[in-house]
Amino acid sequence: MLRDVVHRTDPELAALLDLEDQRQRDKLRLIPSENYTSQAVLQTLSSALSNKYSEGYPGKRYYEGQQYIDAIEQLCIARAKSLFGAEHANVQPYSGSPANLAVYLAFCKPGDVIMGLGLPAGGHLTHGWNVSITGKYFTSVAYGVRKETGRVDLNEVEALAKKHTPKILFCGGTAVPRTIDFAGFAQIARSVGAVLVADIAHIAGLVAGGAHPSPVGHAEVITTTTHKTLRGPRGGMILCNANHAQALDRAVFPGLQGGPHNATVAALAVALKEAQSEDFRRYAHQIVRNSRALAEALLARGYDLVSGGTDNHLILIDLSNKEIPGKRAAQALDRAGIETNYNSVPFDPRKPFDPSGLRIGTPGMTSRGMTESEMPQVAAWIDRAIAAEKRGDAQQLSTIAAEVRELLLRFPAPGL
């Protein structure tokens, strides 16, 4: 019914929305930071909550008419705390990057030393990389991964931390295919008096579903997005120990933001309720099983995977031995109906906008109901598409895209 109104009001825009719906139905979406939300989440995002302004926090607002907004935000907070076992939750950040910025504002002053996984090694821009405000306003020290293993070496992290004594130590990242050792990072943070911040934007759904160890009890602060593996709306969230609650709340509002996006908060409440179910736990574990099966199938076809495989939802492929750059491969795969993103790999000799790697993942496929049995076919399509692109066979890419669409008819896209 809502789309019918858009068609009458703005046919041009509605046509584009319809095309995007069809694209999401017809493409094999392997970008690990993307997923499908439920119809309930999508409908909540389209509610009248977008009409309301709500600066402040429940019971402490600057606008009247907050009776139901307060109840919604309190429900969302309670569900977040319950699902993750956290002492405090702030559900107002507009995204993961603002959530991380709030951490800096709460604990640091300009020029203070911070530490995080370097972007080329799989870290996030907001963990102190030099093109981000976090690398410009603070003294950033980056740790990396071992060239021979593709994994973080905690001995290196400890040595850097003791040398530079950061105020904040970040663990987690945006292209990390292995389990994060939260306990090991916590021990290092304690030894130098740093606040350990676990960025679980990619793995929040896996943590919630018991498919990845939880940082709760190890990290004093946890930041995350609310989409990706958690299958919620596009937003952010901060979890923390009670003693940091006031500082972080003040950093979010009034430090960085005005009024929260109430429709997003409500949609997150829906997603958190869904994540409490046994179905979601099965889903989270299936993501990991699918990812491992896909990694094994790619390895069998001669693909070089960073760290040799995966423990979670994400696979990072180094295409150097296939003699095709990541950008060209990603664009060819898109024409073949397979959506990926080109990505730098550790020690990449190529530039970030034309890197050596591909980053893929299984959250979207798993949301559509695929299991390990489909993963060898996915790997075969990836291999065929890359080979076709190398020999300039555009027709083969179209053939693969048709095969992809045929398979996806058996696995309807949630919410669409």
Cβ 276 vs Cβ 79: under 8 Å: yes
Cβ 200 vs Cβ 177: under 8 Å: no
What is the distance between the alpha carbons of residues 250 and 247, in angstroms, rounded to a whole number? 5
Reduced to 3 states, what is the DSSP secondary structure of residue 133? helix
Q: How far apart are the first and last CA of the chain?
A: 13
Catalytic positions are 53, 55, 199, 225, 228, 234
What is the distance between the alpha carbons of residues 121 and 345, in angstroms, rounded to a whole number? 7
| Structure-token pair, residue 329 | 């491969």
Q: 43-275 adopts what CATH topology?
A: Aspartate Aminotransferase; domain 2 (3.40.640)
Reduced to 3 states, what is the DSSP secondary structure of residue 221? strand
How many CA atoms within 13 Å lie on the side-chain side of 305? 24
Which class for 39: exposed (0-12), middle (13-18), buried (19 or more C-beta within 10 A)?
exposed
375-391 helix and 278-300 helix, angle to the nearest 10 degrees: 40
Please state the length of the chain. Answer: 416
Tens of each residue's pLDDT in the chain, 416 residues: 568 899 999 999 999 999 999 999 999 999 999 999 999 999 999 999 999 999 999 999 999 999 999 999 999 999 999 999 999 999 999 999 999 999 999 999 999 999 999 999 999 999 999 999 999 999 999 999 999 999 999 999 999 999 999 999 999 999 999 999 999 999 999 999 999 999 999 999 999 999 999 999 999 999 999 999 999 999 999 999 999 999 999 999 999 999 999 999 999 999 999 999 999 999 999 999 999 999 999 999 999 999 999 999 999 999 999 999 999 999 999 999 999 999 999 999 999 999 999 999 999 999 999 999 999 999 999 999 999 999 999 999 999 999 999 999 999 999 88
Residues 6 or more apart in contact with residue 162 via CB below 8 angstroms: 191, 192
Q: Where do the structural domains in the chain lie, given as residue ranges?
A: 43-275, 286-408
Q: Which CATH number fits domain 286-408: 3.20.20.140, 3.90.1150.10, 3.40.1180.10, 3.40.50.300?
A: 3.90.1150.10
What is the distance between the alpha carbons of residues 22 and 9, in angstroms, rounded to a whole number? 21
What is the distance between the alpha carbons of residues 178 and 188, in angstroms, rounded to a whole number? 19
pTM (2 d.p.): 0.96
